[in-house]
C-alpha cells in the first residue's frame, strides 16, 4: 500500500471521523450560523419620521437586545421619504425556523416600528441564511468576506 500524503485522508477512507489541523472543532465552520435580517418600515405619518442616525442607533440597540447575540453589520437607508430599510448580519438565531421568524416580525412591529414610527407604520421582513447549517439535510452554506476591490482606470499609452 502506498503511503498517504495526509494521515487524516486514510482515516476518512476507512470511515473514521476526520481530524482537523486545528483540533476537534473548527470555530469558524459549521459551528457558526450567520443570517441577514432586513426590515422594511413604512411610516405614512409625516410627524413620526425620525432621522436616519436615530433609526440607526435605536435599531442597533434593539437588535442586540432582541437577538441576544452578536449583531454584525447594520445598514440603514431611506428608500423614499417615510420608508426605511434596516438590514443586519446576525450570528446565531435559527433563521430557518418559521416560528422564530414570525416571532421576530411581531416583536419588531410591536416594539420597534409602531412606537418609533407611529400607529400607522407597517413592517415587512426578509431573513436569509448567510453561513451555517439549514438543519434539514441540505449542505451548509459558507460565507466568505473579502475587502472590496477598487478598480482604477489606467492611462492608455
The residue written with cell numbers 489606467 in the block is 154
In this prediction, residue 48 carries a pLDDT of 81
Whether the pLDDT of residue 40 is over 70: the answer is: yes
At 38, give phi and psi (nearest 5°). -125, 125
In this prediction, residue 92 carries a pLDDT of 83
**Rounded CA separation 115/44 (Å):** 14
Q: What is the pLDDT of residues 126-149, one digit of tens each?
A: 999 988 888 887 888 877 777 888
In the structure, what pLDDT confidence band is assigned to residue 18 with cuts at 50, 70 and 90? very low
In this prediction, residue 31 carries a pLDDT of 53
In the structure, what pLDDT confidence band is assigned to residue 70 with cuts at 50, 70 and 90? confident
**Rounded CA separation 68/63 (Å):** 8
Domain map (residue ranges) of the chain: 34-131
**Rounded CA separation 108/84 (Å):** 14
Cα angle 54, 58, 60 (rounded to 5 degrees) comes to 120
The whole-model pTM stands at 0.71
Provide, rounded to the nearest whole percent, the portion of the chain with pLDDT above 70: 80
User: Which CATH number, 3.90.1300.10, 3.30.1490.190, 3.30.1180.10, 3.30.70.260, labels domain 34-131?
Assistant: 3.30.70.260
Amino acid at each position: 500500500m502506498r503511503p498517504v500524503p495526509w494521515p487524516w485522508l486514510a482515516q476518512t477512507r476507512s470511515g473514521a471521523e476526520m481530524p482537523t489541523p486545528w483540533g476537534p472543532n473548527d470555530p469558524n465552520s459549521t459551528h457558526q450560523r450567520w443570517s441577514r435580517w432586513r426590515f422594511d418600515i413604512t411610516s405614512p405619518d409625516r410627524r413620526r419620521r425620525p432621522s436616519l442616525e436615530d433609526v440607526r442607533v435605536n435599531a442597533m440597540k434593539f437588535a442586540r437586545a432582541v437577538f441576544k447575540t452578536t449583531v454584525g453589520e447594520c445598514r440603514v437607508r431611506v428608500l423614499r421619504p417615510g420608508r426605511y430599510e434596516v438590514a443586519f448580519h446576525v450570528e446565531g438565531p435559527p433563521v430557518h425556523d418559521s416560528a422564530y421568524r414570525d416571532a421576530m416580525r411581531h416583536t419588531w412591529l410591536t416594539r420597534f416600528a409602531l412606537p418609533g414610527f407611529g400607529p400607522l407604520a407597517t413592517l415587512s421582513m426578509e431573513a436569509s441564511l448567510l453561513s451555517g447549517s439549514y438543519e434539514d439535510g441540505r449542505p451548509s452554506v459558507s460565507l466568505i468576506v473579502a475587502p472590496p476591490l477598487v478598480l482604477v482606470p489606467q492611462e492608455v499609452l
